[in-house]
């Protein structure tokens, strides 16, 4: 692990944790609910996902077998609050079909797989990209896989940590190559980044009062510049 970047990333983590405290993420009753939420949260905010999941719970269908049997159109109406509901219903059905077809709907069998095989399988599901797959790995399967999202890119780019056109894999490697492979740390760190992004590092930044307001002056680093 690179000493300099390990220290700087931990400085970032500690500043965020000091301000925001533990995030208790991912809020869900069980791993399957986490996975459903990971699919539904694409291109929407969490409040909308919560409403969609509540609809599934109230209808008594937040269950692999029931969702597998459910008509896609009926499912789309239940998850309507999450937005793009027709597309997300198909994606969710694709994911359920993957769980049933490959693992017989047995989550213990799913979680028993090696991380690399789990990720490869998830990425083979139409509609599941790297961020969604890694969210499932980190928050449901509890594997030390760092989740990268738009907030991660925005914060690190604005603070001179990465170049403008960095790839998802390069951004992920920045964390995973420089931090201990600790699932609890990755969980909390990503959740804190999301909180900072929503609160301060918006498309139009609100820098005053941000816990990272003075972090930039300490950086001046860019591992992608020779």
Q: What confidence tens digit (pLDDT) does each residue in 102-113 have? A: 999 999 999 999
Task: Find all residues with CB under 8 Å of 21, minimum gap 6, and list them.
Answer: none
Mean residue pLDDT of the chain comes to 93
Q: Which two tokens stand for residue 209?
A: 């009062």
Region of 209 (left: φ > 0; alpha: ψ -120 to 50; beta: rest) is left
Distance CA 25, CA 48 (A): 16
pLDDT for position 34? 98
Distance CA 19, CA 195 (A): 10
pLDDT for position 220? 47
Nearest residue to 9 via CA among 162, 164, 144, 208: 162
Q: Token pair 């909308």 is at which residue?
A: 48
Q: Token pair 């992608």 is at which residue?
A: 224
Burial of 127 (0-12, 13-18, 19+ CB in 10 A): middle
Distance CA 95, CA 35 (A): 9
Query: Looking at the predicted structure, is the pLDDT value of residue 42 above 60?
Result: yes
| Report field, pTM of the whole predicted structure over 0.75 | yes
């Amino acid at each position: 692990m690179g000493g300099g970047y390990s220290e700087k990333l931990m400085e970032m983590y500690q500043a965020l944790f000091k301000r925001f405290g533990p995030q208790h993420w991912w809020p869900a009753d069980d791993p399957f609910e986490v996975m459903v939420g990971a699919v539904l949260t694409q291109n929407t905010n969490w409040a909308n996902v919560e409403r969609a999941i509540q609809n599934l719970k109230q209808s008594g269908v937040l269950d692999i077998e029931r969702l597998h049997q459910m008509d896609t159109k009926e499912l789309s109406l239940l998850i309507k609050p999450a937005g793009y509901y027709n597309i997300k219903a198909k994606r969710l059905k694709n994911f359920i079909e993957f769980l049933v077809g490959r693992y017989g709907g047995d989550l213990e069998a799913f979680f028993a797989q090696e991380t690399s095989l789990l990720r490869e399988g998830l990425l083979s599901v139409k509609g599941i990209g790297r961020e969604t797959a890694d969210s499932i790995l980190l928050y449901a399967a509890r594997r030390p896989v760092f989740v990268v999202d738009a907030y991660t890119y925005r914060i690190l780019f604005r603070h001179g940590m990465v170049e403008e056109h960095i790839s998802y894999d390069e951004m992920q490697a920045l964390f995973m190559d420089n931090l201990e492979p600790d699932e609890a740390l990755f969980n909390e760190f990503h959740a804190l980044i999301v909180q900072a992004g929503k609160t301060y590092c918006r498309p139009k930044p609100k820098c005053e009062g941000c816990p990272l307001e003075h972090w930039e002056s300490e950086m001046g680093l860019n591992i992608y510049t020779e």
